[in-house]
Amino acid sequence: MGTHARIGNGFILIDACAWLDQRVAGPRPDLTRDLHDWATQRPGATADVAASRPPRLGRYGWQQAVLAWCDARGHAGPDPSDPLAGPELISHEATRLDRDLWVARALTPDGHRIVVVQTEDDAPTVHDDHVTDSARWYDADTVDISCPNGHGWTWRSGRELLTADGSFTTLTVVFGPNLDAPFTRCRRCTGYETGHRSSPCRCDGSAWIVCPTCGHRCDVELPEH
């Protein structure tokens, strides 16, 4: 399968770390440390919280702390035309990413783009924001489908596809009307079960995506930006 995405048993999984690497320009340990210290020392912090590094605030406790930290440090919303709107919040749960992510995008007082990223229940970290188009932060599903013979499509979400020349199409048009499309079972496994093969296949049983043009097994990968 692809390096940063793979085909599961009827679903796609994207490596969340690789997805993030496409959108951040580098870590900001100074701001991460300031966030953690601020969350520990803020008024009302318990002794248990104050004694830990980073503090154990839980998923939603951290999210509230991030918003309060941004307000306290003057980190405004990423849209210069509406800085009073506060950080832009994006939550990815039940997407193709292999981990849940919560993101808060902001501008520092000197106009530098930053993003605070929380993975699952981990303490958040601060990064330089490499993305100017907010739409890329909202897209946690798009993958490229490709076969060894050069045929390929971009699968966004649902049944929407883009062809190699950027034209819109659908899974139904390209892979057929089966509701499981584009996934199919291994042909060797199916052949053994139907009596057309004398020995079982030794694959892992994962679903395949078979190229409708040439019949070869396809891979999936994160698109390059």
Task: State pLDDT tens for residues 3-55.
Answer: 899 998 889 999 999 999 999 999 999 999 999 999 887 554 444 444 445 66
Buried/exposed 32-70: b ≥16 CB within 10 Å, e otherwise: beebbebbbeeeebeeebeeeebbebeeeebbebbbebb
d(CA 8, CA 64): 34
**How much is the average pLDDT of 190-199?**
69
Strands 101-107 and 113-119: antiparallel
pLDDT digits (tens, 9 = 90+) for 148-193: 999 999 999 899 999 999 999 999 999 999 889 999 877 767 766 6
Residue 69: the pLDDT is 96
Residue 223: is it exposed, middle or buried by C-beta count within 10 angstroms (0-12/13-18/19+)?
middle
What is the model's pTM?
0.85
Domain segments of the chain: what residues?
Answer: 25-130, 143-221
199: confidence class by pLDDT, cuts 50, 70, 90: confident
